[in-house]
Chains A and B, each alone.
Chain A
Amino acid sequence: MKGLRKVLTPFAPDQSGASGVVYSMGALIVIIDAGGCTGNICGFDELRWRDTRSAVFSAGLRDMDAILGRDELLASKIESAASRIDASFVAIIGTPVPATIGTDYKALKKLISNKVTIPVVAIPTNGMKTYNEGEWEAYKALIDEFAKDSVEDESGEIIVGMTPLTYGDDYMDITLDDIKRIKSSKKLVAASSSGIDACIYSGNDFEIYNPVVRANIPDGITGKTLVCHDEVVGKTIRDAGIDVDIATFFKLHDSIKRDGDRKLTEEDDFVAMVKEGGYDTIVADICLKELVPDFEGKWIDLKCFAVSGRS
């Protein structure tokens, strides 16, 4: 059945992706939820949370807040927090609750902007999409708010999309300064699916590869190979001269897609691809192996935090 998962747990959702992008930018992050979504983000999807104190807040919505649409109350709470917390900007991140009651993020942003003295960025995630979409929404909102058409210093490389949700402990943070100069940077690299979207949106030229994977192509790959991960991981391995089909549960851009590549949605999509593909090697998170216990080829474990929660 479409949407039914019997083996895998749900993948990292868009709101976690959005939070992950702004997490290290010194923002006052407000998850517009009742509490559970913030707990999921902080207690599970945000690797950096246990080691660093950061200004992540839940809106702490209650049923009457949602039913009556008390945006003014929420804005006042944010005003109060912003007056007592040092932050570079306010980031409001959506969840299923505002999605259900049809929150107007543009209006909410305006309402909050009238009460605080720092910029406000609204990221309209809804908890029903995958994390890469949330990362993309975050990049888009940040570029709209902060990116400049030209900056004095255009040197230096900006790598977009090396987030912990895709690459676990190998993540590379992007800063607010990087966002400011993304449109004019001399070297821009898209290191994941959301990075590609962000780079396209910036209008600047960019390359597509993952620097960590490129420097560490997994050992032991032989024969026909399936890489199931973020599309850029698959592309980086393919670009190293390996015969690769790319599978991804996330986005697969037309610019990367080749014959044999596939965007997966259901558990059964992966099972079918493995059964029909005749692969000698699979490079993917080991948690996917439970879906294809009869696969007799070589399995190279390449962790994907967004899939398994392993860093």
Chain B
Amino acid sequence: MKREAVFYTAKDVAERGKQGIPDELLSGKSLVYSSPATLAYNSPGAEGFGVKRAGLSVPESVMLIVAPGCCGRNTSLISNMPGYKNRFFYLEMNEADLVTGRHLTKVPGAIKEVLEFLKGTASHKLPKVVMICITCVDALLGTDMERVCRKAEDSLKDSEFEGTRVRPCYMYALTREGRRPPMVHVRQTIYSLLEPMEKDPKSVNIIGGFAPLENTELLKYLKNAGIENIRQISTCDTYEEFLCMAKANFNIVINPEARACAEDMHNRLSIPYIELTRVYGTDKIAAQYKALANVVGTVFEDEEDKAEADGAIARLKAEYPDLTFNIGECVNGNPFELALSLARMGFKVEEIYATLAPENYVFVKKLAELSPSTKLYCNMEPTMLYYDISNSKADITIGKDAGFYCPDIPNVSWNQDTEPLGYQGVRDLMNRVYDSLKEDRK
């Protein structure tokens, strides 16, 4: 028995064509190896923003997880984070509930008991929204959670809790590769709380992320274009402030998983949207900003920011001309696009650890022209159990998962909650790599 991890080179994959991507690189073709590298895949809520944290991004909300105990078990990791105290509650299902569906009839009473409990806490702070998080079991039972939530809202009428919104959050891991995976659905749920409001031509929303965009040139460009209110859900302190997102003249979508909710907002609230993709090629970023500026009816003066990002690339290249990267998929970015961008910058990419979705084949095809020997591994493939770092000659790794596979090589995890965007993303990544290598040299 060979005890080694399966890989294919970029050249192999390019030659096979989009329809011939090897099974070992695809999702759903084998058991999913569970290592720290794949934790974010197996349990998106365990790291970063999964359904649970995403649902609670609505200001002044709490969450009732109605599920078997196992589904809420790791929530204590989140409960201990700042801002989550007294925000998670659990209604545990048992085997009888599975057969009778009785747990659903208990939801209104459980919500009331939670609200009474919160009224009695030191802060006496009552939530404006109760998110009901349900899981795979209810997906299979075909539970109509919209109806359960409506009934729960009705049950609060004529009580001191009247007006509290109750909304479903679907943590259906089973549907992860379906048309509406959980992280798409939860964004739709969140923004479905918005009601039509009078439009403000000087208001824009940035949607898709759950932590604020910081330090990005985008906010500056929008302000220079006369946009006075730039709203992100993560910067709304109150529920009322969040509701004002309905005033936006247009939405900027920074994560493809927010496309469906942007469509909903277009249809229901008449808010059009434009999408910005996170890429690491400065020419591509410039092209995206140009398109956005056209929509806004202005010109973004981005030369300085582009020069700064290009300067960071040049500094790294000057100091480390033969720098070789290994790249994982637990990063703020598309690992294949990132690899291609790095290759175009003149760096080497030795290994990529990522599941190759067919839509990313185009990046591999172009990468094969510049770096045919780049090895593609799939994080989830069972033989990754035998991945051997000693075969890698990389100088630096990007991605939390890449750090796991190559513990002796300097790593930039680059999967922070506060996501990078545009030139700022390129500049900061280059500088982080530069700093990590300098630190390692010491």
Contacts and interface: CB of A to CB of B under 8 A. Distances in A.
Contact of A101 (B34, B79, B140): B140
A36 interface: yes
Interface SS of chain A: mixed
A97 B95 contact: no
B314 to A, nearest CB: 38
Interface in B69-111: 69-77, 79, 88-95, 98, 103, 106, 109-110
Interface stretch (B171-179, B247-255, B418-426): B171-179
Contacts of A36: 42-43, 45, 71, 135-136, 171, 173
Interface stretch (A43-51, A143-151, A192-200, A215-223): A43-51
Interface in A51-94: 53-63, 66-67, 77-78, 80-81, 83-86
B441 interface: no
B28 interface: yes
Interface size class of B (residues with CB under 8 A): 35 or more
A33 interface: yes
A57 B69 contact: no
B68 interface: yes
Max count, chain A CB within 10 A of own CB: residue among B39, B72, B382: B382
B274 interface: no
B229 interface: no
Given A12-B73, A58-B34, A6 B93 contact: no
Given A55-B385, A85-B383, A100-B98, A38 B34 contact: yes
Contacts of A275: none
A127 B382 contact: no
B442 interface: no
B225 to A, nearest CB: 42
Interface residues of A, number: 62
Interface in A94-128: 95-97, 99-101, 126-128
Contacts of B33: 56-57
Interface of B: 1-3, 27-28, 30-36, 39, 41-47, 67-77, 79, 88-95, 98, 103, 106, 109-110, 113-114, 117, 135-137, 139-141, 171-178, 380, 382-383, 385
Given A38-B32, A67-B140, A127-B71, 6 more contacts: A13-B70, A39-B42, A55-B385, A80-B31, A81-B31, A97-B137
19 contacts: A4-B110, A9-B73, A9-B90, A10-B75, A11-B73, A13-B70, A16-B70, A34-B172, A38-B34, A39-B34, A43-B36, A44-B77, A45-B74, A59-B31, A60-B32, A63-B178, A81-B382, A100-B141, A128-B68
